Structure 1
Amino acid sequence: MSQFKLSNLIAATYTPLNADGRLNLQQVGPLVEHLLGSGVTGLYVCGSTGEGMSLSCEDRRSVTDAFVTAAAGRVPVIVQVGHNSLDDAKQLAAHAQQVGADAISATCPSYFKVGTVGGLVDSMAEVASGAPELPFYYYHIPMLTGSKIDMVPFLTEGVARIPNLVGLKYTDTALHEFQECFELQDGRFDVVWGCDEMLLGALATGAQAAIGSTYNIAAPLYARLIEAFEKGDLQEARRLQGLSIQMIRTINLYPFHPAMKAVLKMKGIDVGGCRLPQGKLTAEEAKSLQSKLQSIGFFDWS
């Protein structure tokens, strides 16, 4: 299991919803085909992008089933099972293993904050034990969980307590910590980058895989960025990262995930809006966003 590695671009998938906020699982198949057609090499389900924390456990199981079925073994499916209730998280992990997911991942509890490395290891050991046959990635996203625990001691101590711990989904901007985790114990851990607008910096520190929201709408752009970096054409890689930054800055003029879902609809994949408290863009906002994206050439180079 320690040899399990992710590679290239993994899309943090959106959860399709109807106008009333209920699941629209019929759209999972078209979304997966769109993503695979754009070149992504994995699916990260029910994370922040997929509104995992806004879904009931029953919904999360249904979404997991739908993505595993739609992927049909063509790419790895990683299921995010984190929950404020560790027992619920453990049960979600067990379900993911039962239905054929390839790996699990989890945020830490975020209402009662995890304040120590030991507390984080204990919590994640409980979750990961629900799916002992699947690789486990801790999802480090301090801006949402409020947990700023150093990932180096977590990995060092965690590997002794969590037999299926293989790495991290690292969604922070501390490249020095990311590099240290990546190089720890001769590269033992699979540390996957999670900030799309800083992918080039992560590649320079050794990243082999990245999980992100904007790979839903612009995976070919990032694939060209990776290709330019691997060829040593840093000028072109910086230019392409600059386009990514410009795209994300434009989308961030609106509530980000509702805006991303609106862009998917512009590309022919209707996944609805988001559940409250995020909601969805108004028709006027969506039209304004489309105009701004057209003005930066997004639909030509994305």
Structure 2
Amino acid sequence: MVDESLLVQRMSGRKLSGLIAATYTPMTASGDLKLDVIPQMVEKLLLDGISGLYVCGSTGEGMSLTTPERQSIAAAFVEASGGRLPVIVQVGHNSLRESQTLAAHAQQVGADAISATCPSYFKVSTTRTLVDSMKELASAAPETPFYYYHIPMLTGSSIDMPEFLTQADEAIPTLVGLKYTDTKLFEFQRCLELANRQFDVVWGCDEMLLGATATGARAAIGSTYNIAAKLYRQMTLALTSGQLDAARKWQSQAIEMISTIGRYPFHPAMKAILAMQGLDVGPCRLPLESLSSAQAKSLREELQAIGFFDWCRVTAEPSHS
């Protein structure tokens, strides 16, 4: 039986805030999990000012991992976090039965929330099907807040999100909001303002964080927060203190950084940058590529040329002059 008082407590008034790192999955050179690195990863992110962890998403190669592997990773991040910051576990799968297994496990190990993409091999083309699918999935973790993960560029599902939230609100008791990874700021704003700002809508496009923050985003989930959280924190601080030109400068630097990384296989390049910062999380698993030694050397040189290694260490407050 569901503890309804506990459910209400967990669903109400606990919106995410700040920068939430979409965590990488540490692996050995042969592609096996390397769970002993996770505590070090969490400590680094805490020092960088990260306010939450999003585990086994696109960044964490969740779709390339087995269900037991995903369970092991989720448990390791929850344990390493020690309640110091929320852990959201991504449980989406082409098999909704496997998603239910992952969701139930996430609740069992104490994840603060679950999140899920929709099945993507067979495309979800109607709002009703999306609601029914997410209802079935979320029912396996009836005491854990649920965030739908909207990322149409990967799932191929472009359902109208305000319509989904409206229909899902009644059907899914644990629904609290969305991870919104698209570039439609107008739709993001509609979701934020829906039902008297009922839903916790979290931004998911690092290149557009400034626009999303100006639109009303309180939290963002992203890959590059793993390597440059301090840059994004400076941008947010500049914006909230009324220094729009400075905020634009920080966002411009983030865009340049992402553009530079994007000239290489993105997630393998990100893992290489983490190694450059002293955190060896290994390579990615096929079908993602690995960087050659020449590519890693070239990447480091390009990042040095744009000043990245200074940005990621930035500690100064923005000028008030």
> TM-score surpassing 0.5?
yes
Q: CA deviation at 1:3?
A: 2.2
Matched, 1:30 2:40: yes
Task: Find the aligned partners of 1:15 and 1:279 in 2 and give their Cα distance.
Answer: 15
Give the equivalent residue in structure 1 for 2:158.
148
For 1:58-97, list aligned pairs within 5 A.
58-97=68-107
Matched, 1:205 2:237: no
Q: CA deviation at 1:47?
A: 0.2
Q: CA deviation at 1:76?
A: 0.1
Give the equivalent residue in structure 2 for 1:228.
238
Task: Find the aligned partners of 2:166 and 2:288 in 1 and give their Cα distance.
Answer: 37
Q: State whether residues 200 and 238 of structure 1, in contact with CA within 8 Å, keep that contact through their aligned partners in structure 2.
A: yes
Residue type of the partner of 1:266? Answer: M
Q: State whether residues 2 and 164 of structure 1, in contact with CA within 8 Å, keep that contact through their aligned partners in structure 2.
A: no
For 1:64-143, list aligned pairs within 5 A.
64-143=74-153
Matched, 1:168 2:181: no
Give the equivalent residue in structure 2 for 1:20.
30
Gapped regions of structure 2 (runs ≥ 5): 1-10, 313-321
Q: Deviations over 1:53-110 (max 9, x none)?
A: 0000010000001100100000000000000000100110000000010000000000
Residue type of the partner of 1:270? Answer: D
Task: Find the aligned partners of 2:100 and 2:240 in 1 and give their Cα distance.
Answer: 39
2:267 equivalent among 254, 257, 260: 257
Q: State whether residues 2 and 188 of structure 1, in contact with CA within 8 Å, keep that contact through their aligned partners in structure 2.
A: no
Q: CA deviation at 1:136?
A: 0.2
Give the equivalent residue in structure 2 for 1:293.
303
4+ residue runs of structure 1 moved beyond 3 angstroms? none
Task: Find the aligned partners of 2:14 and 2:116 in 1 and give their Cα distance.
Answer: 17
Q: CA deviation at 1:280?
A: 1.5
TM-score with structure 1 length normalisation? 0.99
2:227 equivalent among 197, 217, 238: 217
Residue type of the partner of 1:192? Answer: V
Task: Find the aligned partners of 1:120 and 1:239 in 2 and give their Cα distance.
Answer: 39
Q: State whether residues 4 and 166 of structure 1, in contact with CA within 8 Å, keep that contact through their aligned partners in structure 2.
A: no
Task: Find the aligned partners of 1:28 and 1:83 in 2 and give their Cα distance.
Answer: 23
1:48 equivalent among 58, 65, 78: 58
Task: Find the aligned partners of 1:154 and 1:208 in 2 and give their Cα distance.
Answer: 21
Residue type of the partner of 1:31? Answer: M
Residue type of the partner of 2:51? Answer: T
Secondary structure, counterpart of 1:111 in structure 2: coil
Give the equivalent residue in structure 2 for 1:180.
190
Task: Find the aligned partners of 2:255 and 2:232 in 1 and give their Cα distance.
Answer: 11
TM-align CA RMSD = 0.5
Residue type of the partner of 2:91? Answer: V
Secondary structure, counterpart of 1:185 in structure 2: coil
Secondary structure, counterpart of 1:188 in structure 2: coil
Residue type of the partner of 1:63? Answer: I
Q: CA deviation at 1:4?
A: 2.4
Task: Find the aligned partners of 1:95 and 1:301 in 2 and give their Cα distance.
Answer: 38
Q: CA deviation at 1:2?
A: 3.4
Secondary structure, counterpart of 1:138 in structure 2: strand
Give the equivalent residue in structure 2 for 1:243.
253
Residue type of the partner of 2:82? Answer: A
Task: Find the aligned partners of 1:283 and 1:126 in 2 and give their Cα distance.
Answer: 45
Task: Find the aligned partners of 1:210 and 1:2 in 2 and give their Cα distance.
Answer: 19
TM-score with structure 2 length normalisation? 0.94
Q: CA deviation at 1:301?
A: 1.0
